[in-house]
Amino acid sequence: MQQPRIAIGGFTACFNGKAVVKNLALEVEAHERLAIIGPSGSGKTTFLRCLNRLNDLDPSFSHSGKILRDGNDIYAPNVDVAELRRKIGMVYAVPVTLPWSIYDNLVYGLRLAGIRDKTKLDERVEAALRLAFLWDEVKDRMREPANVLSGGQQQRLCIARVLVLEPDVLILDEPCSGLDPISTAKIEDALVALKAQHSIVLVTNNTKQAARASDRTAFFLLGELVEVGATSQIFTRPAKQQTSDYLEGRFG
């Protein structure tokens, strides 16, 4: 049995002492797409932001329990948080491009890491854009401002911007919430291809997307994990009443 890429045990996340994620136990395997569904306010986003320690920036945040990445506690005191965030790449709900050129957006993470070599930057940028299915659309437009791209292109740019850093886990927070079906399909296609090298954690409010674009699905409710299982099983034979109620639209 292979070690899971990420293993979460007894993890609780609080803001101002109020628990938003409660006593969570969950594992993410090396090459899988895990979807997280649940009504808003279930702690899905908070959970994602714990994986790359982005919540640390909020002074009211506190946590207990463990998150292990390849067996090592990511909240251990000697962890290089910047390095952790490079390796656990996050994509946000709204595509946020920095007010610079497409190229400058893409190489920003590498520059932060101190990589200056032009050839190396260009290589990584091309590889990442190809993985995000965006290369053909932007290869001749690198110097244009990133915000002239369409919403779907911008979101794929955001994915590529993260891929440039060669992360091993991708965490996506409702990446398609503002996009049209065609853009959504392109991103889902990219996720299928990315699975080969990355673990993917996809938070989504769109249960159909979870059904299409994941191998396993976890259902969160009010900060607790109700159940997790193979996507086909969750959507056809959920073990818990709350899960089937949610999937059938009885609440949430």
Q: Cα 15 vs. chain centroid, distance in angstroms?
A: 21
CB of 212 to another protein, least distance (A): 26
Tell me 57's DSSP state: G
Residue choice 19, 165, 190, 191 for contact with another protein (CB under 8 A):
165
Residue in the structure block whose two tokens are 């659309």:
137
Residue choice 108, 151, 197, 206 for contact with another protein (CB under 8 A):
108
CB of 162 to another protein, least distance (A): 7
Between 91 and 228, whose beta carbon lies closer to another protein? 91
Decide if residue 99 touches another protein (CB under 8 A): yes
Decide if residue 17 touches another protein (CB under 8 A): no
CB of 222 to another protein, least distance (A): 25
CB of 74 to another protein, least distance (A): 14
Decide if residue 52 touches another protein (CB under 8 A): yes
Between 56 and 248, whose beta carbon lies closer to another protein? 56
At 154, which amino acid appears? Q
Q: Where are the alpha helices (DSSP H) in the chain?
A: 44-51, 81-87, 102-112, 118-131, 135-138, 151-163, 181-194, 207-213, 231-236, 241-247
List the interface residues with another protein, window 133-162 (CB under 8 A). Answer: 143-145, 158, 161-162
Count residues binding another protein (CB under 8 A).
Answer: 29
Pairing of strands 18-28, 6-15: antiparallel
List CB contacts of 14: < 8 A, sequence separation 6 or more. Answer: 20, 61, 62, 63
**Residue 252 burial (10 A CB sphere; 0-12, 13-18, 19+):** middle
Q: What residues make contact with another protein under the rule CB under 8 A?
A: 52, 54, 57, 59, 82-83, 85-86, 89-90, 92, 94, 96, 98-101, 108-109, 111-113, 143-145, 158, 161-162, 165
